[in-house]
Structure 1
């Protein structure tokens, strides 16, 4: 009867259950990304074997997709190493890499390239601001 009147065990149980579900989901995602990373490496080998049959733009796009997979896997590893926390800087790394991919692959329009470069500049400024601010924030006690 006491379990029904005291909601504290439920408040502690729900976050733990959701954390386990999140960890399982991220582990499955990491495994899927590893498989896709291997597929990209096979594509590299195919490109090298048939080097004269495909464009260099395709190869550059594949390299950057490879790095995006690599960064997502690294971010998931950091999540588990840093006690279930995603560092914001990794999202910025991924954003910068994605924008670089767009500039390399889609550089037909000068205005679009300039906008993509502006986005990269904003991400770099944000990254700089994150690095100069203190990491530990004081905890407010109520």
Structure 2
């Protein structure tokens, strides 16, 4: 019985380690989000040294940081649960960024678009009343 009480502490300790790690990750993401904000504003103020494609890539990276921070916030609000739909949003944004960056091969672009379609269908299914837990 005494052994069980010692091992009962393990999930609590691991949960604290996970929570602390996520807080540190959120702080790092906030720093990178700030750097990306400065990058975007430097383009607006001084639009000669960055192409429009690079600006669009920067905006999508900005949204990726924003989505990851929102995911961490939602994790704590949902009592230590990551909602599936946030991962799907991040996946869709990342694939759109990939299409914008790497659009040389038409076959790759079609495959990426198909992956977005699969993610959108998954998002629809995840938001149905039968699967929605929130």
Corresponding residue for residue 139 of structure 1: none
Q: State whether residues 125 and 131 of structure 2, in contact with CA within 8 Å, keep that contact through their aligned partners in structure 1.
A: no
Q: State whether residues 60 and 105 of structure 1, in contact with CA within 8 Å, keep that contact through their aligned partners in structure 2.
A: no
Query: For structure 1, which segment, 27-36 or 48-57, has the greater mean C-alpha deviation from structure 2 after superposition?
Result: 48-57
Corresponding residue for residue 98 of structure 1: 94
Corresponding residue for residue 16 of structure 2: 20
Q: State whether residues 92 and 119 of structure 2, in contact with CA within 8 Å, keep that contact through their aligned partners in structure 1.
A: yes
Query: For structure 1, which segment, 64-73 or 105-114, has the greater mean C-alpha deviation from structure 2 after superposition?
Result: 105-114
Distance 1:105 1:34 in 2: 24
Residues 10, 135 of structure 1: CA spacing in aligned structure 2 closer, same or farther, 3 A cutoff?
Answer: farther
Query: For structure 1, which segment, 50-59 or 15-24, has the greater mean C-alpha deviation from structure 2 after superposition?
Result: 50-59
Distance 1:10 1:75 in 2: 32
Does residue 67 (structure 1) correspond to residue 63 (structure 2)? The answer is yes
Query: For structure 1, which segment, 46-55 or 81-90, has the greater mean C-alpha deviation from structure 2 after superposition?
Result: 46-55
Would you identify which runs of 4 or more consecutive aligned residues in structure 1 move more than 3 Å? Answer: none
Question: Deviations 1:64-123 (Å, cap 9, x if unpaired)?
Answer: 000000000000000000000000110000000000111122112111110100000011
| Cα shift at 1:9 | 1.1
**What 5-or-longer segments of structure 1 have no aligned partner?**
137-142
| Cα shift at 1:40 | 0.3
| Cα shift at 1:51 | 0.7
Q: Equivalent of 2:43, from 42, 47, 52?
A: 47
Q: State whether residues 36 and 62 of structure 2, in contact with CA within 8 Å, keep that contact through their aligned partners in structure 1.
A: yes
- What is the RMSD computed on CA atoms of the aligned residues? 1.2
TM-score of the aligned structures, taking structure 2 as reference length: 0.93
Query: For structure 1, which segment, 6-15 or 111-120, has the greater mean C-alpha deviation from structure 2 after superposition?
Result: 6-15
Question: Deviations 1:9-51 (Å, cap 9, x if unpaired)?
Answer: 1232000000000000000000000000000011011111221
Distance 2:36 2:85 in 1: 25
Distance 1:124 1:134 in 2: 15
